Amino acid sequence: GIRDVAVTGVQTCALPISLLAEARKDERIFLITADLGFSIVERFAEEFPRRFFNVGIQEQNAVSMAAGMAMSGKIVYFYTIIPFATMRCYEQIRVDGAYLDTSIRLVGVGAGFTYGPAGATHHGIEDLALMRSLPNMTVLAPGDLRETRAAVRASVGIKGPVYIRLGRGGEPEIHAEELSSWRIGKAIEMSRGRDLQLLATSNMLESALQIRGVLEQMGWNAGVTSCPSLKPFDQPYVHSLIADGKPIFTIEEHVIQGGLGSAVAELIAESGRGLTFQRFGIPDCFTHVVGSQAVIRKSLGLDVETLAQKVNACLRKNRGE
């Protein structure tokens, strides 16, 4: 089926490696998948066969099963493609996970248009908004492999449900060192800009760094901040940026509503301070473009060059040019 084709093309290796390391230390950790992830989950299944379950294409049952296991003291990770990890089983996540505050960990792979050739049914573009709206839910969207490893480590010990949004395998390790001291709820400032600050989350972190380079050629000094924790969100850090008064731009491969841009906009609006701010994300539409992630990004103006031009235009307008 189309799902099998999609899975073959995407390898997200940070999850099983990180989870294996944690599972060796904690026998409460279990892994559930819904008939996918092959070549991804085998190492876990082989090492811990009694702690691995493939339930077939039954995502609703998988979440309820994970919740039941969590209520008996287990820490259960459920791994599948984002639309099937968040939307197909949303009622079960809301009632069995968030409402009962059970320690289930939903791991969605394929952020944004990772599964571009599979069409809109496989695009992961609304998940952050859905998960952020649920009481008790922790929402993590790591931007590289080191952030993913840190997110998995941090997710083991906290109470309540957690959603972890992953991209695909093969992303670069953007951070030079392991993020051993990172905590849930904290942003990661990679540099502070003299002229503006770019805030990125999930699979747009690499793009933000590239945009910074293009803007430098245009004469702007931009800082970059990674936001791997969308809920809880690092409000004190954003308030420090607001106090600086420099322009803030958010970048995400997610619909413009309900994600990183919305989280920052809420804080700016409530602060009573006026400053230049713009959100960059997926417009309020479904795309009918079929192609690679890069092709779809470009069709929606989310490629590096277009975003850099938009930031430049906003800054020049703000300067009265």
φ, ψ of residue 78 to 5 degrees: the values are -110, 120
Tell me 112's DSSP state.
Answer: B
pLDDT digits (tens, 9 = 90+) for 98-152: 999 999 999 999 999 999 999 999 999 999 999 999 999 999 999 999 999 999 9
pLDDT confidence of 21, banded at 50, 70, 90? confident
Place of tokens 């991804």: 40
- Name the E strands within 7-91: 29-33, 52-54, 75-81
Beta-bridged to residue 19, according to DSSP, are none
In the numeric block, the tokens 């394929």 are attached to 110
Cβ neighbours around 258 below 10 Å, total = 19
User: How confident is residue 3, by pLDDT bands cut at 50, 70 and 90?
Assistant: very low
* Cα end-to-end distance, the chain, whole Å: 54
> Over the stretch 206-264, which tens digit does the pLDDT of each residue have?
999 999 999 999 999 999 999 999 999 999 999 999 999 999 999 999 999 999 999 99
SS3 state of residue 120: helix
For tokens 């969100």, what's the residue?
233
Residue % of the chain over a pLDDT of 70: 93
Helix (H) / strand (E) element for 294: namely helix 293-299
Of 151, 243, 143, 157, the C-alpha closest to 192 is 243
Least confident of 20-24, 71-75, 221-225, 259-263: 20-24
Asked if 148 contacts 154 with a C-beta cutoff of 8 angstroms, the reply is: no
